[in-house]
Amino acid sequence: MKTRYSFGGDEHIFVEVDEEMSLDAFFKSLSITNAVRESQIKGVTEICPANASYQIKYDPDVIAPDDLLAELKSLEAAAEKSESIIDTRIIEVPVFYNDPWTHETLMRFRERHQDPDSTDLEYAARINKFTSVDEFIAAHSGAPWFVTMVGFVSGLPFMYQMAERTHQIEVPKYLRPRTDTPKLTVGYGGCFACIYSVRGAGGYQMFGITPMPIFDPKQEISYLRDFMVFFRPGDIVKFKPIDRPAYDAAVADVEADKFAPRIREFTFSLKEHHSDIDGYNKKIGEVLHGN
């Protein structure tokens, strides 16, 4: 698909990089928005990268729409020639799968689900042809995930699985959205995982819950004091299954302000990942745990 540019009113340009999600489309979007930020184009007031698109807000009194469009097309041409390498973070996110809180919630909303007789995990395992929920959880937590955008509600990350396309998990959203989702639920819809940063409505399948806060508007949590939103596009996430005692211990650490996410700095190469996906994902795990 050829990149599609469109104006939104007189203050926005929306750019579709591709019609379908892929790591290549995400990287193109990310590289262009990073270039816009680094170029410090006068008149640009907001830069919003997304999964396979991005949006730029600008002041038309400072830069003419056609001039900004020309700048973006120039940056796109440069991005297509550049090597897709980014300096980023690998982050371990503990997940208590099949927890009692999301289970209680999903049971309240079975009439809105494709399979009222199954839990969300059972349904996801079955339609993805896994023999058991445990096997599905192993696949969900096995490959790392790219944070492709943050938004919808404050601090909520959308994540795309870094696996062979034929091995990627796909699960549809609920037939009708729920009116309730527990805070820090690990959800799934389409080809995207997410973490619900706050309690509220939602339509993604619910697989578990993390004890790790990712949004703190009061900025009282130690690792969120500099900025209230934890995730940023380009982060790499590795889910770690934990049991109830480990979950309770992590919650206690959070309450005592002793919890610290496991984070490692990493330089990611899209070319190297494409050349050996399983091997590169293994490398990401080794870097995370200091091997």
**pLDDT of 27:** 87
Q: How far apart are CA 98 and CA 122, in angstroms?
A: 10
CA atoms within 13 A on the CB side of 99: 28
Provide the Cα torsion 212, 214, 216, 221; round to 10°.
Answer: 40
Work out the number of other CB atoms within 10 angstroms of the CB of residue 39: 13
Q: How far apart are CA 249 and CA 251, in angstroms?
A: 5
Q: Rounded to 5 degrees, what are φ and ψ at 105?
A: -65, -45
The separation between the first and the last C-alpha atoms of the chain, rounded to the nearest angstrom, is 41
Instruction: Say yes or no: domain 88-288 is CATH 2.60.120.260.
Output: no
Q: At what angle do helices 120-127 and 133-142 cross, to 10 degrees?
A: 80
Length of the chain measured in residues:
291
pLDDT digits (tens, 9 = 90+) for 213-237: 999 999 999 999 999 999 999 999 9
Can you give the residue ranges of every domain in the chain?
4-82, 88-288
pLDDT digits (tens, 9 = 90+) for 7-61: 988 899 999 988 888 888 888 888 888 889 989 999 999 998 888 899 999 999 9
Q: Rounded to 5 degrees, what are φ and ψ at 67?
A: -70, -40
Average pLDDT of the segment spanning 157-175: 94
CB 222 within 8 A of CB 260: yes
SS3 234: coil
Q: Which residue in the block uniquely carries the two structure tokens 């270039």?
A: 35
pLDDT digits (tens, 9 = 90+) for 51-102: 889 999 999 999 999 999 999 999 888 777 666 889 999 999 999 999 999 9
- Which secondary-structure segment (H or E) carries 13? strand 12-16
Tokens matching residue 85: 């390498």
- Out of 1.10.1040.10, 3.40.50.1000, 3.30.1360.40, 3.40.50.300, select the CATH number for domain 4-82: 3.30.1360.40
